A and B are shown apart, each in its own frame.
Chain A
Amino acid sequence: MTRLEQFIAFSALLTGEEAVALSGTGVAAELLAALDEITGAALTDELLARFAALPAGMQAEQAAGDSIMADPRLGPVARNVILLWLTGSWTQLPDAWRDSFGASPSDRNHVISAQSYQAGLQWTIAGAHPSGALQQGYGAWAMAPGSTAP
């Protein structure tokens, strides 16, 4: 498995989205690069190693909670990975994290790119589409939610 594939598999667990769908957004490499840039590739590698050590299957989500999300250093970064995928934006890490583990200059609220915004999973989870892109077509808004969602 390449590092990008590992990142996608890890992201699939965090977001509940299929790996193939995450791959299909076309922004996985860009989000991984942003993560590496903001909090450092070494920390990403640690996250991916911790993920690789999780049990497979149904228990993975629970195990990730204990092993990654509860970790004071890795947890906030993993939560930011979820926000990256759902919104396409990076959210500045909590002050406590920045005080303890170092504040990167690129750790500030920002949209990663026009593409990452449009790929944000929050819109499809809501049965909608990103505001200003991937529109559903004339009159689709008059139909019940779900009837137009993929």
Chain B
Amino acid sequence: MTATSHDVVIVGGGVAGSLIAKRLSHAGLKVLMLEAGPESTRSFADYNAHLDRFYAASAKGAESPWPPAVGAPQPDGGDIGTGKGYFVQRGPNQYGSTYTRTLGGSTLHWLGVSLRMLPEDFELQTRCGVGLDWPIGYSTLSPYYDQAEHEMGVSADVAQQQYHGLSFTPGYDYPMRHIPQSYSDRVLAAAVDGTRIALGDTSVAVRVRPYPAARNSIPRHSYQPRGAIDLDRRGNPYLLTIGERCEGNTACTPICPVQAKYHAGKTLVEADWRHLELRTRAVASRVLVDPASGEVQGIRYQRYERPDAPNFVEQTATGRYYVLAAHAVENARLLLASDLPGRSGLVGRHLMDHPALYAWGRSPLAVGPFRGPQSSSGIEEFRAGAFRAQHAAFRFDIGNDGWRATTGAPDTTVAQAVLQQGLIGQSLRHRLREQLGNQVRFSLAVEQLADATNRVSIDPAYRDAFGNPRPVIDYRITDYTLAGMAAALQVARQIFARAGITDCTGQDELSFPTVNYQGRNFAYHGMGHFAGTHLMGADPRQSVVDSHQRSWDHRNLYLAGAGSFPSMGTSNPTLTLAALALRIADDLIAQFPNAAGAAAQCGGL
């Protein structure tokens, strides 16, 4: 066993850990980052090997470019509903989401949607009598949203994002202009913008609106977009010019070939490497705690050389403060494996996602799908309203990639034309041009509330190759969310009808888990939006961390990530967890009174 000592030890090299590491290192704090996965995303050549893997993969799911190491297994979309894989799913519903354990984390394959949570999302219990309130409000987080949007590089126009009470710092705008809306978006907007859609007893005028995306666009002022990353001959990280604009690769998920979409590696490049030590292939296996004080004394981890072998050596990292930024599921799993369920008993509980439905159809006009970022617009009108007392809020993501996600197009469209319709030559081309050119798809992401029985736990019977317990998932989608799904489908049908889109929802559908509601089966999928496994709150008996994400039980430990969310609204969680991570970094720096001085000193070197 070897011991080293740092100011702060961070577990996890994803977006939260990287943002914290960058900020702390620039304040002169000595930081050690442990990352379970390999470092194969640091050099441009290695990143491109992941891209080749994606090209050659039969199933091009979110994990296809990012295979796990033997000792750092991860959930895979192909395992859902099979009873196989990393997760032990106890039901009654299947948890449909996955994540990646490679340096950079799930930002390697996320879509890049970077919506702020709405002011009312933080006060759902107070305003609507459902869910849990946050101990902090939008106004506390707003300046951190500003910072996170600049750290990650978010493209949007404030003028288009002031809705549902979202306010911005006076004079503020996003670092880059909004990503151009696709032709398909514009055709839809021409048909439905301003049209009123019924929801329950009311009606709402909808608009096809560009959403904030962490993909590079045209910069404002002096902002410098961050492109792809690479290592120089001495192994030092730097930014390339490739990827300074989105080039429309239509592959945000699972891999942006030019790295125009944000991933956490870009943040790590900008850390002060004189103060940051990165240790990859290091699987945290136990948090060591002083039983008397409750303080964390170290992180035991398993270091491996080869990602394809089950061999490791055990080491321990020590510091004054610790941050678990390993992912909502991994944070909870690690604490539980360390016999630290929390005095509240809430570690692992309140697991959430955005269970989502697809709606798809044929546009009356050719819209040119399979081009551009996988989506560029949404419909945001149903994210807020008095109806949230009765059923879940939802938002629409409008696809630019035809029926890829729903039926497996274009391959399945081609197979049908060739194998079933028997077409060849010019008649085949003519048919395909028509059949591929009018495909439209909505993804309807539905809010899910924190429910203590939805949880991550461990069971000694289920272990991975390194002997670490695998996550056991209990998951139920309740009527509040199911009623939201039903409402979302009704809205989709109305929008299709107004736009003259022939509804094909359900036809030739790929395999998804289903859930029954009032006699109807909804095929749903996960959005990758894991949240709620170490709730933030004002009361130590009803939460795991305080409003700075500092553990109530272990005062030198912070739990970063969406695991801290008491509710998620309808926002993709990455931007909010990034803002919260920056807030952790500031709180940590405040624990080191000499840190600012150290930073000034380093700046002069």
Contacts and interface: CB of A to CB of B under 8 A. Distances in A.
A141 B248 contact: yes
A125 B429 contact: yes
B183 A122 contact: no
Interface string B175-199: 0000011110010000000000000
Contacts, number: 165
Contact of B414 (A69, A83, A136): A83
Nearest to B51: A132
Interface string A93-116: 000000000000000011101110
B432 A132 contact: no
Contacts of B372: 140-142
A112 to B, nearest CB: 9
A137 B260 CA distance: 12
Interface in A79-98: 79, 82-83, 86-87, 89, 91
B181 A82 contact: no
Given A79-B419, A131-B404, A113 B376 contact: no
A15 interface: yes
Interface string B422-466: 101111110011001100000000000000000000000000000
Given A131-B250, A132-B55, A125 B432 contact: yes
Contacts of A141: 180, 182-183, 248, 368, 371-373, 376, 400
A122 B411 contact: yes
Contact of A126 (B51, B246, B255, B369): B369
Nearest to B216: A138
A114 B55 contact: yes
B429 A132 contact: no
A15 B429 CA distance: 7
A15 B183 contact: no
Contacts of B166: none
Given A13-B425, A79-B419, A109-B58, A125 B51 contact: no
B368 A146 contact: yes
Contacts of A111: 55-58
Give the most central of A61, A136, A141, A142: most B CB within 10 Å. A141
Contact of A145 (B245, B366, B413): B366
Nearest to A138: B245
A89 B58 contact: yes
Interface in B239-255: 245-251, 255
B54 interface: yes
Interface string B17-60: 00000000000000000000000000000000001101111101
B208 to A, nearest CB: 13
B368 A128 contact: yes
B204 interface: no
B122 interface: no
Interface residues of A, number: 47
B367 interface: yes
Nearest to A61: B425
A114 B52 contact: yes
A61 B423 CA distance: 10
Contacts of A148: 371
A150 interface: no
Interface in B408-426: 410-411, 413-415, 418-419, 422, 424-426
A61 B257 CA distance: 39
A31 interface: no
Give the most central of B60, B370, B401, B419: most A CB within 10 Å. B370
A87 B415 CA distance: 9
Contacts of B370: 123, 126, 128-129, 131
A136 to B, nearest CB: 5
Give the most central of B51, B54, B183: most A CB within 10 Å. B183
Interface in B67-117: none
Contacts of B373: 141
Contacts of B52: 114
A87 B369 CA distance: 17
B428 A16 contact: yes
A142 B186 contact: yes
Contact of A127 (B55, B255, B433): B433
B433 to A, nearest CB: 6
A145 B54 CA distance: 26
14 contacts: A61-B425, A83-B414, A83-B418, A87-B411, A87-B414, A110-B58, A111-B56, A122-B432, A123-B370, A133-B249, A141-B248, A141-B372, A142-B372, A143-B183
Given A129-B249, A131-B251, A145-B368, 13 more contacts: A16-B424, A65-B424, A91-B419, A113-B56, A117-B56, A125-B429, A127-B437, A128-B368, A132-B255, A140-B372, A141-B248, A141-B372, A145-B437
Top 5 A-B pairs, shortest CB-CB distance: A141-B372, A145-B368, A128-B370, A114-B55, A132-B251
Interface of B: 51-52, 54-58, 60, 180-183, 186, 217, 245-251, 255, 257-258, 366-373, 376, 400-402, 404, 410-411, 413-415, 418-419, 422, 424-429, 432-433, 436-437
